[in-house]
């Protein structure tokens, strides 16, 4: 197990569930040898960190001030770098914003825990930006997925844990006669906690449990009085900014005439002691609770629980087995449940014992810490890598050697490829990637709106690095808006400044794969001895399709087959049709069958070609997918093609091929292979990279005889 340095950041360290969870986790991490730092605005619980040898750094990370937050980003970044922090774990929104931007220029992974049922305004969005988003209940998990679009594979379900050493189990003695039942409500005083609804229920409960039994008071043997049948202890306080919440409750208590039955204890550090004094805990929440930490604390202490059937409580409590659930806001159902558990003590004992067993099994602090450490280790070890290649089919095939090397260097990484929809079949069976993301530039993702949509998809994936093999304006913008932390690519005039790890293009043109390998080297990926071999993965169904297709073309079983790719993305790349026709006639004379390939858009050209030759041509133009074309080219003994995607397909399928180059430079677009040979004539005007030309002398200079000779050599005829 790798020892890590974990930094937890939260607004304050006053009393509360988030604060307690932070300290509990820090304690468990330290026990296992990890280094822990906590950053907060300070508070009463800072002393507990000192007791467990955890460093606390006091910063005003709770202030909702833009300028303060901006200043804190720089401060936190220095803390992360100086301390060589591995994980930054944010537990609240404002600290999370600071932490997110601070980690952008560091090697630390950013983790968030969603502690609440957040509104969907902009400030809350940051809680979805973690490398992993930890949730403590299924309701919060659904909330983050449905309302914040967090992908399921980034959600980590880790219920909170309770320290079983601190919360000792105290079994209920159902035979003991009690003169007073103590009911506790523990939690911050806010409207969603349901205090008002609970107090209205208590006003009815006290009628069933009136003052009973004379007892001595204050230790004075002369003092005699009546004890309350029910005593309600409200633990917790209202936010400092909302003191009226507590005052409103006090007013309600006076109206209900139950002042003598209710006591406010304020915020307490000694929750285990408080729990041990209770006969019943009630969680009367009427709003979504992320978890309900006090439920498992009560369960650990042997206190039966009644809770609203809402939020995280539903995950913890099995109704009438480990506790009781009531409809939120239903006063009479709450009254009936309280009376039932106070009167039926054997039932209360059974529920409490079952709750303790469930807490031991599912909600121990040890279990929570171990699961959290696994998330930290996964974030450190399992990188999320985005490869960007949104170009043509041939360009995507050229990226395969680089993708293969990324996988070799990062066997445990999650690797995604952002590609154009036209390339969807190329990487469909690629064994080196985990996911394909498509960018339909000419369709659903056209224009600025589509660009922003794809960038949003990338952002939700929380990638650690992007390797941009496209190096276009669109690719640079997507990686930047997608908040990819480390963005590698070439510095150019196409928004290259958006990359934070840039390379300068070579003055002397390198091969297409070598250019990509330079990007890999910049990212620290080893390419020494790496193979530049292309790959494609047609399936059995693709070969079956080709077999049936050729059989229907009256292809003899052992007849030699030569492929001709008649098309090209530019007219200037196309060899003259009369040359193809003459070559086909010469091959037919040697009992060689010719199959012509091309796109649907080139059907008119193919028709013109077939009409100008005496050969019985197999016309496959527009009749295959990429993988079916790969299977067809595999069937060919030789393949003749221009600088186009089928050239790279032939290379990937290890088929002998002859590449005819004209307006483009073979040194930049052809990856040398034993199976491929290039024919390119030196002309004064080339390579010109023009899609249109009145006199395509570069292609016309390639003669039929020299192409025929090369084909014959490979056919060994």
Q: pTM (2 decimals)?
A: 0.81
pLDDT score recorded for residue 118: 86
Residue 693 burial (10 A CB sphere; 0-12, 13-18, 19+):
middle
CB 677 within 8 A of CB 650: no
pLDDT at position 717 over 80:
no
Domains of the chain, first to last:
5-157 (3.40.50.2000), 181-363 (3.40.50.2000), 382-522 (3.40.50.2000), 540-715 (3.40.50.2000)
Measured in degrees and rounded to the nearest 5, phi and psi for residue 101 equal -75, -30
92-140 pLDDT per residue, tens = 999 999 999 999 989 999 999 998 888 888 889 999 999 999 999 999 9
Question: At 672, is the pLDDT very low, low, confident or very high (cuts 50, 70, 90)?
Answer: confident
Q: What is the mean pLDDT of residues 680-697?
A: 85
**Looking at the chain, how many residues does it have?**
717
159-184 pLDDT per residue, tens = 999 999 999 999 888 777 777 899 99
Q: What is the mean pLDDT of residues 16-24?
A: 90
Tokens of 79: 């803390």
pLDDT score recorded for residue 224: 46
Q: Which of 292-296, 352-356, 553-557, 660-664 has the lowest mean pLDDT?
A: 553-557
Q: What does the alpha-carbon distance between residue 146 and residue 464 come to, in Å, rounded to a whole number?
A: 24
Tell me what percent of the residues of the chain surpass a pLDDT of 70: 97
The candidate with the shortest Cα–Cα distance to 9, out of 156, 113, 107, 82, is: 113
Helix (H, G, I), strand (E, B) or coil at 437: strand
467-485 pLDDT per residue, tens = 999 999 999 999 999 999 9
481-539 pLDDT per residue, tens = 999 999 999 988 889 999 999 998 876 667 889 899 999 999 999 999 899 999 999 99
CB 301 within 8 A of CB 275: yes
pLDDT score recorded for residue 59: 97
Average pLDDT of the residues of the chain: 91
Tokens of 541: 């169904």
Question: Of the ranges 67-71, 424-428, 666-670, which is most confident?
Answer: 67-71
CB 235 within 8 A of CB 274: yes
- 3-state SS of 37-52? EEEECCCCCHHHHHHC
Q: What does the alpha-carbon distance between residue 27 and residue 42 come to, in Å, rounded to a whole number?
A: 18
236-266 pLDDT per residue, tens = 999 888 889 999 999 999 999 999 999 999 9
435-453 pLDDT per residue, tens = 999 999 888 999 999 999 9
Tokens of 155: 């959600």
pLDDT score recorded for residue 635: 94
Measured in degrees and rounded to the nearest 5, phi and psi for residue 516 equal -70, -40
The candidate with the shortest Cα–Cα distance to 229, out of 181, 264, 184, is: 181
CB 517 within 8 A of CB 530: yes
Q: What does the alpha-carbon distance between residue 558 and residue 80 come to, in Å, rounded to a whole number?
A: 68
Tell me what percent of the residues of the chain surpass a pLDDT of 90: 70
Q: Where are the alpha helices (DSSP H) in 487-625?
A: 512-522, 540-552, 577-588, 603-610
pLDDT at position 417 over 90:
yes
pLDDT at position 211 over 90:
no
Helical packing angle, 93-103 and 66-82, nearest 10°: 50
Only one residue has tokens 């992007």, namely 466
pLDDT score recorded for residue 141: 93
Measured in degrees and rounded to the nearest 5, phi and psi for residue 323 equal 165, -170
pLDDT at position 225 over 60:
no
pLDDT score recorded for residue 386: 97
Tokens of 584: 């086909």
Q: What is the mean pLDDT of residues 631-647?
A: 94
Backbone torsion region of residue 219, taken as left when φ is above 0, otherwise alpha when ψ lies between -120 and 50, otherwise beta: left
Question: At 214, is the pLDDT very low, low, confident or very high (cuts 50, 70, 90)?
Answer: very low
Residue 270 burial (10 A CB sphere; 0-12, 13-18, 19+):
exposed
Distances (CA, A) of 572 to 249, 441, 575: 83, 25, 8
Tokens of 504: 């300068």
Which helix or strand (DSSP H or E) is residue 6 part of? Answer: strand 5-9
Q: What does the alpha-carbon distance between residue 627 and residue 630 come to, in Å, rounded to a whole number?
A: 5
pLDDT at position 64 over 80:
yes
């Amino acid at each position: 197990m790798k020892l890590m340095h974990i930094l937890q950041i939260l607004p304050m360290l006053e009393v509360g569930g988030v604060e307690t969870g932070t300290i509990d986790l820090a304690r468990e991490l330290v026990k296992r040898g990890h280094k822990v730092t906590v950053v907060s605005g300070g508070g009463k619980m800072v002393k507990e960190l000192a007791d467990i040898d955890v460093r606390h750094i006091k910063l005003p990370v709770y202030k909702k001030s833009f300028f303060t937050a901006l200043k804190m980003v720089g401060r936190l970044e220095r803390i992360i770098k100086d301390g060589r922090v591995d994980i930054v774990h944010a537990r609240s929104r404002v600290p999370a914003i600071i932490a997110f931007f601070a980690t952008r220029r560091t090697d630390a992974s950013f983790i968030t825990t969603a502690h609440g049922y957040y509104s969907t305004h902009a400030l809350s969005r940051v809680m979805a930006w973690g490398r992993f988003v930890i949730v403590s209940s299924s309701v919060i998990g659904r909330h983050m997925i449905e309302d914040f679009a967090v992908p399921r594979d980034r959600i980590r379900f880790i219920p909170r844990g309770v320290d079983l050493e601190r919360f000792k189990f105290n079994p209920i003695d159902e035979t003991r006669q009690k003169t007073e039942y103590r009911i506790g409500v523990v939690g911050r005083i806010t409207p969603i906690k349901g205090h008002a609804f609970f107090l209205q229920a208590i006003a009815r409960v006290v009628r069933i449990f009136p003052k009973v039994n004379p007892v001595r008071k204050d230790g004075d043997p002369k003092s005699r009085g009546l004890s309350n049948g029910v005593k309600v202890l409200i633990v917790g306080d209202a936010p400092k900014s909302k003191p009226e919440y507590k005052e409103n409750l006090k007013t309600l208590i006076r109206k209900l005439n139950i002042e003598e039955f209710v006591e406010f204890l304020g915020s307490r550090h000694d929750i285990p002691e408080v729990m041990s004094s209770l006969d019943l805990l009630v969680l009367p929440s009427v709003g979504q609770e992320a978890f309900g930490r006090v439920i498992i604390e009560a369960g650990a202490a042997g206190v039966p629980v009644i809770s609203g059937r809402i939020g995280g409580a539903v995950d913890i409590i099995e109704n009438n087995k480990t506790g009781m659930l009531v409809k939120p806001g239903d006063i009479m159902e709450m009254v009936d449940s309280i009376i039932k558990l106070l009167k039926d003590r054997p039932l209360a004992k059974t529920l409490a014992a079952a709750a303790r067993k469930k807490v031991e099994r599912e909600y121990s602090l040890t279990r929570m810490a171990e699961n959290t450490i696994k998330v930290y280790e996964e974030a450190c070890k399992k990188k999320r890598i985005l490869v960007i290649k949104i170009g043509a089919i041939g360009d995507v095939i050229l990226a395969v050697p680089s993708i293969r090397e990324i996988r070799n260097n990062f066997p445990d990484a999650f690797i995604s490829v952002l590609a154009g929809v036209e390339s969807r079949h190329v990487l469909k069976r690629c064994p080196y990637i985990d996911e394909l993301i498509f960018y339909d530039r000419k369709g659903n993702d056209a224009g600025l709106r589509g660009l922003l949509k794809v960038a949003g998809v990338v952002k939700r994936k929380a990638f650690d690095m992007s390797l941009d093999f496209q190096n276009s304006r669109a690719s640079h913008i997507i990686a930047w808006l997608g908040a990819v932390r480390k963005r590698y690519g070439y510095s150019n005039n196409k928004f290259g400044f958006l990359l934070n790890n840039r390379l300068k293009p070579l003055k002397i043109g390198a091969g297409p794969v070598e250019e990509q390998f330079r990007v890999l080297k910049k990212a620290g990926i080893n390419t020494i001895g790496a193979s530049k071999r292309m790959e494609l993965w047609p399936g059995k169904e693709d070969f079956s399709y080709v077999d049936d297709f050729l059989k229907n073309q009256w292809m003899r079983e052992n007849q030699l087959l030569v492929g001709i790719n008649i098309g090209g993305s530019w007219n200037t790349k196309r060899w003259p049709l009369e040359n193809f026709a003459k070559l086909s006639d010469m091959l037919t004379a040697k009992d060689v069958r010719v199959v012509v390939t091309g796109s649907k858009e080139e059907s008119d050209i193919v028709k013109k070609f077939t009409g100008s030759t005496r050969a019985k041509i197999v016309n496959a133009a527009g009749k295959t997918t990429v993988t079916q074309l790969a299977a067809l080219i595999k069937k060919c003994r030789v393949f003749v093609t221009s600088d186009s995607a089928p050239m790279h397909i032939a290379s990937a399928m290890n088929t002998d091929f002859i590449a005819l180059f004209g307006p483009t430079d073979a040194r930049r677009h052809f990856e040398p292979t034993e199976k491929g040979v290039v024919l390119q004539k030196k002309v004064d005007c080339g390579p010109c990279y023009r899609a249109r030309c009145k006199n395509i002398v570069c292609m016309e200079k390639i003669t039929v005889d020299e192409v025929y000779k090369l084909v014959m050599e490979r056919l060994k005829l």
